[in-house]
Amino acid sequence: MLTEEHQKSFVLRRGRITSNQKNALDTLWDRYVLKEGEYVDSFLSDKHSVLDIGFGAGETTTYLAKNMPNSSILGAEVYLSGIGSTLSRSNEEKLTNIKILNSDIVPFLEEKISDCSFDLVLMFYPDPWPKRKHHKRRLFQEGFINLIQRKLRKDGIFYFKTDWNHYYEEAKKIPFEKKKWKVLDEGQLDILLQELPETSFEKKALKAKRDLNKIILQKI
């Protein structure tokens, strides 16, 4: 187990949902979103499998699904606006290799996912919880990294990005090498991952002159 009492890394907030997002949620939910209690081992099976944690508007998730048609893509997101956008994109692109999880990723990984299930796990720009009293809510912590390591297959990749410098500096303090990881740089990744499209979030971060920090780990 990650902790005896898992501290959620998110707080659900009521956000604006556009008419397009609402329509996608109403009409496409059953096609793409996992049902409560549903296991995904059969979806992942022996295929190359990707987990995208906190996918936001789903730009990266759907890009990978489109460009990796023989892979199984599982996206996790708690906010309905982002899910609505991703459902719409998935439908427009006629994607059949994508599933969406609308719940907390930690208990799902612990209880529903077999070890050695993924070849690639992405976690781009999770909530940085900037106030010191909230740092314990940050998802990128040693216990979580150990959980990801278990769920990755041999040589699998964990790819983390944050635009919050303090979060990045704290994350780097985790002794990855002692936890059966090899630290990579972006140039060692598959070309598809080196050329991911710039998301709307990244454009805003760059416009605000925030750094796009990266940590890339490979399971040994």
CB 163 within 8 A of CB 129: no
pLDDT of amino acid 136: 85
Q: Select from 215, 176, 6, 196 the least CA-distant residue to 103.
A: 6
Q: Per-residue pLDDT for the chain (220 aa), expressed as one digit of tens each? A: 444 455 554 445 556 899 999 999 999 999 999 987 777 888 998 899 999 999 999 999 999 999 999 999 999 999 999 999 999 999 999 999 999 999 999 999 999 999 999 999 999 999 887 787 868 889 999 999 999 999 999 999 999 999 999 999 999 998 887 768 999 999 999 999 999 999 999 999 999 999 999 999 999 9
Burial of 148 (0-12, 13-18, 19+ CB in 10 A): buried
Q: What is the pTM of this model?
A: 0.90
CB 50 within 8 A of CB 70: no
Annotation: CATH topology of 40-219 = Rossmann fold (3.40.50)
Q: Select from 22, 192, 51, 189 the least CA-distant residue to 120.
A: 51
Query: In 153-177, which positions are buried (b, 16+ CB within 10 angstroms) versus exposed (e)?
Result: eeebbbbbbbbbeebbebbeebebe
DSSP element (H, E) containing 142:
helix 142-151
pLDDT of amino acid 176: 82
Burial of 23 (0-12, 13-18, 19+ CB in 10 A): middle
pLDDT of amino acid 121: 98
Our CA angle for 191, 197, 57, nearest 5°, is 130
Is residue 163 annotated as a catalytic residue, yes or no? no
Which tokens hold the place of 154? 């041999």
User: CA 104 from chain center: how many Å?
Assistant: 11
Which of 127, 163, 185, 190 does the annotation list as catalytic?
Answer: 127
Amino acid at 154: K
Rounded distance, CA 192 to CA 4, Å? 38
Rounded distance, CA 151 to CA 51, Å? 10
